[in-house]
């Protein structure tokens, strides 16, 4: 990325912040994970492929158009999984940022028979109530992008079997909050299972009241 435009640099710095946070949280091993943000001109700023999220700098970011064609950074290639991001941007026009990560408790359930998605906490209802589980499909493939396009219109979060999580939102902060909340809930389910207990789930009335709160206070996250 060679542009000195201050807005572009600010977005790149924000991506670097959340990339570092992803690595520090143990949500991205080796070159795992990727982040993208929709720019005001309709293009996208994306993390590069095959790079650790630990020490990315703004100059590492890659600009791509809405077709996935790279239009900047001769020294870096756009994330190999960006086609999956584009599918989410297409089905949800309000989406401004996408995060793909590998949180360990979330991934442990993604690699098992059933993913526990019934909400246990208020945060789970507010940030990640509608979790869509996608069967294992080759990462970065056209088949995976098409699956999201055809099945994911009402999802808050995607769980990719034997792979990881994809979250998205009107900001990187919202996408990150969703990632944290799903991982926290997965940890709660795991800890309850370690005690051979079934966690108490929120009932329909409790969930409906939380949805009302969400409409009032979280409608513009």
pLDDT digits 0-9 by tens, 23-65: 999 999 999 999 999 999 999 999 999 899 998 999 999 999 9
Q: What is the CA angle 207-213-217, rounded to 5?
A: 145
Rg (CA), the chain: 17
8 A C-beta contact, residue 84 and residue 91: no
Query: ∠ CA 84-27-182 to the nearest 5 degrees?
Result: 75
What would the pLDDT profile of 136-185 be if each residue is shown by its tens digit? 999 999 999 999 999 888 999 999 999 999 999 999 999 999 999 999 99
Q: Which helix (H) or strand (E) holds 204?
A: helix 204-217
Of the residues 81, 129, 174, 180, only one is catalytic, namely 81
Token readout for 186 is 């997965």
Q: What does pTM read for this prediction?
A: 0.94
81 is catalytic: yes
The CATH number of domain 6-217, selected from 3.40.225.10, 3.20.20.10, 3.30.70.100, 3.40.30.10: 3.40.225.10
Reported residue count of the chain is: 221
């Amino acid at each position: 990325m060679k542009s000195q435009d201050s807005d572009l640099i600010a977005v790149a710095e924000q991506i670097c912040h959340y990339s570092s946070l992803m690595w520090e949280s143990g949500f991205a091993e080796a070159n795992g994970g990727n982040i993208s943000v929709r720019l005001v001109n309709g293009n996208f700023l994306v993390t590069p492929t095959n790079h650790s999220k630990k020490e990315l700098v703004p100059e590492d970011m890659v600009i791509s158009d809405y077709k996935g064609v790279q239009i900047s950074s001769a020294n870096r290639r756009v994330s190999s999984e960006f086609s999956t991001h584009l599918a989410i941007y297409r089905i949800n026009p309000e989406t401004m940022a996408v995060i793909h990560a590998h949180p360990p408790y979330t991934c442990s359930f993604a690699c098992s028979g059933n993913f526990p998605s019934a909400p246990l906490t208020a945060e789970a209802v507010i940030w990640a109530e509608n979790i869509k589980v996608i069967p294992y499909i080759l990462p970065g493939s056209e088949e995976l992008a098409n699956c999201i396009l055809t099945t994911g219109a009402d999802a808050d979060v995607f769980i990719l079997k034997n792979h990881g999580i994809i979250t998205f939102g009107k900001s990187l902060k919202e996408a990150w909050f969703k990632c944290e909340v799903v991982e926290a809930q997965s940890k709660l389910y795991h800890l309850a299972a370690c005690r051979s207990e079934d966690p108490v789930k929120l009932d329909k009335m409790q969930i409906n009241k939380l949805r009302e709160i969400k409409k009032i206070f979280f409608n513009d996250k």
